Amino acid sequence: MILVKPSFQILAIMEPQPFASPLELIELAGRTCYKSEEMISNDSSKKFVKGIMKRGHESVIEHSAMTVKFICDRGVTHELVRHRLCSFSQESQRYVGYKFGCTFVIPPWVDLVPGEYFFNYDPNQEWNIEQWQWFRAMIFAENTYKCLIEKWTPQQARSVLPNSTKTEIVVTANFREWKHIFNLRCSKAAHPQMREIMIPLLKECQKQIPVIFDNITYEE
């Protein structure tokens, strides 16, 4: 059994040629509304986009998009796929089998080190009872699945796998939808596992894509 922490990878930020940045594409789209394309310069896009964002004209930022690959548990993806303005491609438990062992995602409230674990792993460590119970449940789920997959298809055997099972999902959305996702999923009211992966992604987006996500705040 392998235990991992969730992670993300930004696969693409839409920058169609001849534009050097997503802000330049957004500026061209926005200036089309006012027929002010002659005002475009090498350094005008950041100021223009900041202005339209301040005025609440966020439909213009839908012209650019981002694709992110998440490695997380099935519970997180059950929430992610509720965002209907995204495109999703997810690892299928119907066709992907785990007869050689399962991988589970460690929740943030379970203090375990990522790595490979075995059923005879010594529980006589500084673990509390809740940590051991979660660990034991994962071992039991894996062993049950490995027995059933000998006779059943993956789509049948998956019925015994828990929400903690690792999955991979690729998500594509325009910038306006990503703003909506970050506002919902980084808030204090969001699920802890969702915040665990969305807050680091938001921080990375604020570094790589100026202006668009700057005004999104969250509590640590």
Catalytic residues: 185
The Cα 72–Cα 65 span in angstroms is: 22
CA distances from 67 to 40, 153, 189 (A): 27, 32, 25
Of 158, 150, 204, the residue nearest 178 (C-alpha): 204
Query: Which residue intervals of the chain are DSSP H helices?
Result: 22-34, 45-54, 74-80, 129-148, 154-157, 175-185, 192-208
- Residue by residue, DSSP assigns 68-132 as EEEEEEHHHHHHHTT-TTSEEEE--TTT---TT--EEEPPTTS----EE--TT----SS--HHHH
C-alpha gyration radius of the chain:
22
Residues constituting the chain: 220
Residues 49 and 215: beta-carbon distance below 8 Å: no
Q: Tokens 């059933």 — which residue?
A: 148
Residues 5 and 105: beta-carbon distance below 8 Å: yes
